[in-house]
Chain A
Amino acid sequence: MKLLIVEDQAKTGQYLSQGLSEAGFATELASDGDTGQHLALSGDHDLLILDVMLPGRNGWQILQAVRQAGLDTPVLFLTARDAVEDRVHGLELGADDYLVKPFAFSELLARVRSLLRRGASASQDTCLALADLRLDLIRRRAERAGQRIDLTAKEFALLELLLRRQGEVLPKSLIASQVWDMNFDSDTNVIEVAIRRLRLKIDDSHATKLIHTVRGMGYVLEERHD
């Protein structure tokens, strides 16, 4: 997976590039609009991350050029401005997502993965599993090591999200948005409590823990051998 980052702030570009590389993506970094557009039109990227305000040509112009060239590469906009018109303008031009600075890197990473997955056909899994944890999506049943676990509807949805995106760090904001449809930053610790309750049912009576807290970033479901 190769990503193009067009960002004129040297530090921002460098950190994004480093973070995404370490998350397993090949990245290419351009620091002005013209270079960015030139690279974007080569068509060998799976995702474009564009800053709106750029020297040369702005992010919207690059997006227009890319779409006119018939490329449907997903595009994620980064912007310091959060005006509704901007958002609407970007989405009208064919942007796929929009992040306003300051944003958390974990949030960006989660969005990048969502966008890259969007291209792949939605999985028709009937059953999700990790280690000895199994989730039967049709009968709405969860079990660990063959033992049935009773989950509330929201707990089931939360576990399904963690399982579908196992190995990914999911920020609290993304969990709130995906499971409870709460699309705003909130400083409550609702998600912490919900995760703690899920842990109580999934992990507490087992030696191998599956739900892990990544401090300051979010939560991840994975099997760790250490």
Chain B
Amino acid sequence: MRRLSLGSRLALLFAACTAAVSLGAGLLFNRASEQHFVELDQQLLSGRLSLMSSLLAGVATQEQLATRLPALLNELSHQSDLALRVRGADGEPWFASRGELPQAPTPTGLATLHSHGVDYRSLSAPLIDGQPASPQLTLFLDITHHQHFLQGMQRLIWLTVGLSALATALLGAWAVRRGLKPLRQMGKVAASVTAGSLTTRLPAAEMPEELAELAGTVNAMLQRLDDAFQRLSAFSADIAHELRTPLSNLLTHTQVTLTRPRSLEEYREALHGNLEELQWMAQLVNDMLYLAKADHGLLMPSRQALDLATEADALLEYYAPLAEDAEVHLLREGQAHAKGDRHMLRRALSNLLDNALRFTPAGGEIRVSLQPGLRIVVANTGPAIAPQLLERLFDRFYRADPARQEGSSEHAGLGLAITRSIVQAHGGKIRAECEDGWTRFVIDLPE
């Protein structure tokens, strides 16, 4: 079943509301008019009845009534819609001014009766007040014209209900269509988005308040998609670029080796050369897969309680021989505890230390500071890095030293990117800063 459009729903709702309101108002008015008529009738009837009673005062038998009839009829002739019936104390009908009056014994007080297609309002009272055994007077008022008026009004009410519902449905549909125009506009923009046009944005500032938030959200989504897409494109290009050099080396080296017979030693040497290139490529592919996993949110660090001082010391011990060779002093200060993945955090810190060792000159110092709360700072003395390059340090394949050639067998430039991915997988942040001759990598982890 096809679902109703938002416009139709709203139009129908408007129509239903208008119908309900106008119906309610109509019924209330109808009832009030009816009430008003009853009151008017009662006033008229009771006035007339007391006049009749005074005309017939003292009448106790049918004969006595006959003597008063001319005056009575004269009085009745002034008002053609009135009729009178007189009954004896025993209920015997003495007189009726009209033939087709309702036969049912009318109760005392006001009543509404129906007879021979005519509606009557009747009021009865004993001739002698407070004495039920006296002759009974009943005055009838023909109220057909009232009833006609009420029926006409009811028809008018129904007509109003129907017409107003129809009108609001049509007006509502039109208004909703106009009101939802920004939504259709959003739909149009969304439909026009393709991989090639991720820069399209919705005009959130021109949107009505209710839609501005949605438009903002959609824009943010487009922004994220655009970023991810840009990164992915750049990443693929980088991968191809990075692999080109070692592949080219392998091809050249292998073909040159095969061009003529060589000594065993030369073949061995050629294979070793190839092995180095291949190992470098394998490392690169593994690192890139690791980053791809991080990009897909598949790095799921375990949350074990860690004494970071112990971990840092283990890493410093690991790097100690290298640092001694490079004449760099390694130092850890402070204490901190964290919940995290031991292997991942070791890898992250290892990359930072590795990076620091590359750039610290002989006689320099690398300091790992732990601050509860929770911050890890890896600082090294060394040449200053230009501020605009600091953020780029974490980009894939970015190398601060342009002299370092791509494909050089030692470093692919993914270490700091991996560190950042690990820190982010732990819900933390990393930044680099440079001042007073120190380069600092600051990791802030949630406690």
Q: A102-B282, A184-B343, A187-B283 are in contact. Are A193 and B322 (CB under 8 A)?
A: yes
Interface string of A181-216 (1 = CB under 8 A from B): 111111111100110010000000000000000011
B346 lies within 8 A of A190 (CB): no
Q: Are A188 and B276 in contact (CB under 8 A)?
A: no
Contact with B along A94-132 (1 / 0, CB 8 A): 000000101010000000000000000000000000000
B279 at the interface (CB under 8 A from A): yes
A102 in contact with B322 (CB, 8 Å): no
| CB-based contact B321/A188 at 8 Å | no
- Name the distance in Å between B409's Cβ and chain A's nearest Cβ: 9
Size of B's binding interface in residues, CB under 8 A: 32
Interface string of B280-303 (1 = CB under 8 A from A): 001101110100010000101000
Query: Is A154 in the interface zone, CB < 8 Å from B?
Result: yes
Contact A182 B346 (CB under 8 A): yes
Q: Are A83 and B298 interface neighbours, CB within 8 A?
A: yes
Binding site secondary structure of chain B: helix
Partner of A194, one of B283, B321, B343: B321
* Binary contact readout B111-133 vs A (1 if CB under 8 angstroms, 0 otherwise): 00000000000000000000000
Interface size class on chain A is: 20 to 34
A187–B275 Cα distance when bound, in Å, is 15
CB within 8 Å for A181 and B314 given contacts A84-B298, A186-B350, A193-B321: yes
Q: Is A150 an interface residue (CB 8 A)?
A: no
The answer to whether B346 and A193 have CB atoms under 8 Å apart is no
- Within 8 Å of chain A (Cβ to Cβ): is B354? yes
A182 touching B289, Cβ below 8 Å = no
Q: Mark B45-59, 1 if CB is under 8 A from A, else 0.
A: 000000000000000
Which B residues are CB-close (under 8 A) to A84? 298, 300
Cα–Cα, bound, A119→B410 (Å) = 38
Return chain B residues, CB-CB under 8 Å to A102: 282, 285-286
Q: Does A15 contact B (CB under 8 A)?
A: no
* Complex CA distance for A181 and B321, rounded to whole angstroms: 16
B90: Cβ under 8 A from any A Cβ: no
A180 touches B (CB below 8 Å): yes
Beta-carbon contact of A216 and B275 below 8 Å:
yes
Query: Which B337-391 residues have a C-beta within 8 angstroms of A?
Result: 343, 346-347, 350-351, 354, 357
Complex Cα spacing A109 to B380, Å: 39
Q: Kindly report which residue of chain B lies nearest to residue A81, judged by CB atoms.
A: B289
Contact A183 B343 (CB under 8 A): yes
- Return the chain B residue nearest A193 by Cβ: B321
Task: Tell me, rounded to whole Å, the shortest Cβ–Cβ distance linking A100 to chain B.
Answer: 8
Q: A184-B343, A188-B322 are in contact. Are A82 and B289 (CB under 8 A)?
A: yes
* Docked complex Cα distance between A216 and B280 (Å): 11
Q: Nearest B residue to A188 by beta-carbon distance? A: B354
The interface centre, meaning the residue of A102, A154, A181, A187 with most chain B CB atoms within 10 A of its CB, is A187
Note all chain A residues with C-beta closer than 8 A to B286: 100, 102, 185
Which residue among A104, A176, A193 has the maximum number of chain B CB atoms within 10 Å of its CB?
A193
Establish whether residues B321 and A190, one from each chain, have CB atoms under 8 Å apart when the complex forms. Answer: yes
Residue of B whose beta carbon sits closest to that of A179: B318
Question: Does B282 contact A216, Cβ atoms closer than 8 Å?
Answer: no
Do the beta carbons of B322 and A216 come within 8 Å of each other?
A: no
Q: Is B411 an interface residue (CB 8 A)?
A: yes
Chain B stretch 254-313: residues in CB contact (< 8 A) with chain A: 272, 275-276, 279, 282-283, 285-287, 289, 293, 298, 300
A127 CA to B300 CA in the complex, in Å? 43
What is the distance, in angstroms, from B47's C-beta to the closest C-beta of chain A?
A: 97
Q: Taking the complex as formed, is B317 at the interface, i.e. its CB lies under 8 A from any CB of chain A? A: yes
Question: Does residue B401 face the partner (Cβ distance < 8 Å to A)?
Answer: no
Interface residue ranges of B56-103 to A (CB < 8 Å): none
Contacts of B293 in A (CB 8 A): 82-83
Interface residues of A in 58-84 (CB under 8 A from B): 82-84
Flag whether B319 is at the interface (Cβ < 8 A).
Answer: yes
With known contacts A102-B286, A181-B314, A188-B354, A193–B279 Cβ distance under 8 A: no
Given contact pairs A104-B282, A180-B314, A216 touches B300 in the complex (Cβ within 8 A) = no
Q: Are A185 and B283 in contact (CB under 8 A)?
A: yes
Whether B276 pairs with A190 at a CB distance below 8 angstroms is no
Please tell me if B436 contacts chain A, counting CB pairs below 8 Å.
no
- Please, which residues of chain B bring their CB within 8 A of the CB of A190? 318-319, 321-322
- Complex alpha-carbon distance, A199 and B356, angstroms: 27
Pairwise interchain contact A216-B298, C-beta atoms closer than 8 A: no
**Cβ A104 vs Cβ B321 within 8 A:** no
Please name the residue on chain A nearest to B319 by beta carbon.
A190
- Are B298 and A186 in contact (CB-based, < 8 A)? no
Q: Is B325 an interface residue (CB 8 A)?
A: yes
Residues of B within 8 A of A182 (CB): 315, 318, 346, 350
Query: Would you call B318 and A187 a contact (CB within 8 A)?
Result: no
The residues of B that contact A82 with a CB separation of less than 8 Å are 289, 293
Question: Bound complex: CA of A182 vs CA of B317, how far in Å?
Answer: 11
Q: How far is the CB of A220 from chain B (nearest CB, A)?
A: 16
Nearest chain B CB to A136's CB is how many angstroms away? 23
* Distance between B323 CB and nearest chain A CB, rounded to angstroms: 9
The answer on a CB contact under 8 Å between A104 and B350 is no
- B274 nearest CB across to chain A (Å): 9
Query: Which chain A residues lie closer than 8 Å to B411 at the CB level?
Result: 187
Shortest C-beta distance, B407 to chain A (Å), equals 13
A-B contact pairs, 26 of them (CB 8 A): A82-B293, A84-B300, A100-B286, A102-B285, A102-B286, A104-B279, A104-B282, A182-B346, A182-B350, A183-B343, A183-B346, A184-B346, A184-B347, A184-B350, A186-B347, A186-B350, A187-B410, A187-B411, A188-B319, A188-B322, A188-B354, A190-B319, A190-B321, A193-B321, A216-B276, A216-B279
Apart from A187-B354, A197-B321: 14 A-B pairs, beta carbons within 8 A: A82-B289, A84-B300, A102-B285, A180-B318, A181-B314, A183-B343, A185-B286, A186-B347, A187-B415, A190-B321, A215-B272, A216-B272, A216-B275, A216-B279
**Shortest 9 CB-CB contacts between residues of A and residues of B:** A216-B275, A102-B282, A193-B321, A184-B347, A180-B318, A194-B321, A188-B354, A193-B322, A190-B322
